[in-house]
Amino acid sequence: MGDGLDLMQVAAGAAAALVAEMAKESWESARTAIERIFKRRGADETSVAQELGLLDAAHRRLNESTESERADVAKRLEQELLIQLGAFLQKNPDAASELQELVDQSEQHDTGTGLRANVHGNTSSQVLIAGRDVSAGNFSHRAPEGEK
């Protein structure tokens, strides 16, 4: 059973990692990694294409959703991918360690990214931290093009 890993736990972690990657610019590299895992299992091209087709459809659904529905869509996609990846691992338990590596790499990339801010001496002031465009009242700030 894939180095003693719990298959459904690996599938759940991979589903969460893939949904998170779908919303990032790094999606293509995650997709390529999962494609390699699917292909290494000796699956025929039709099966690999079907698995990737499901992932691509999930990617489109997430990215075509509105901001207000994105969290719900992500939750549904995570459940769907859990089923898909769980079924894949049931047929290919030796792929569990590779899939777990994909999850671990995704988590490592997430730890060093993002914005860190320390705010000191802000008595009687407001602090606004945003990773994208912001507007409030007569204040407006657009993120530089390369940072969106």
DSSP per-residue string spanning 86-123:
HHHHHH-GGGHHHHHHHHHHHHHHHHT-S------S-T
**Residue 34 domain-assigned (yes or no):** yes
Is residue 126 one of the residues assigned to a domain?
no
**Among residues 115, 16, 29, 8, which one has the least CA distance to residue 62?**
16
Q: How many structural domains is the chain composed of?
A: 1
Whether 55 is covered by a domain: the verdict is yes
pTM, to two decimals: 0.67
| Helix/strand number for the chain, H first, E second | 5, 2
The whole domain housing 60 covers 2-111
Rg (CA), the chain: 19
Q: Judge whether 67 lies within some domain.
A: yes
Tens place of pLDDT per residue across the chain (148 aa): 444 678 999 999 999 999 999 989 889 999 999 999 999 877 788 989 999 999 999 999 999 999 999 999 999 999 999 999 999 999 989 999 999 998 898 877 654 444 444 444 555 555 555 545 555 556 555 666 655 4
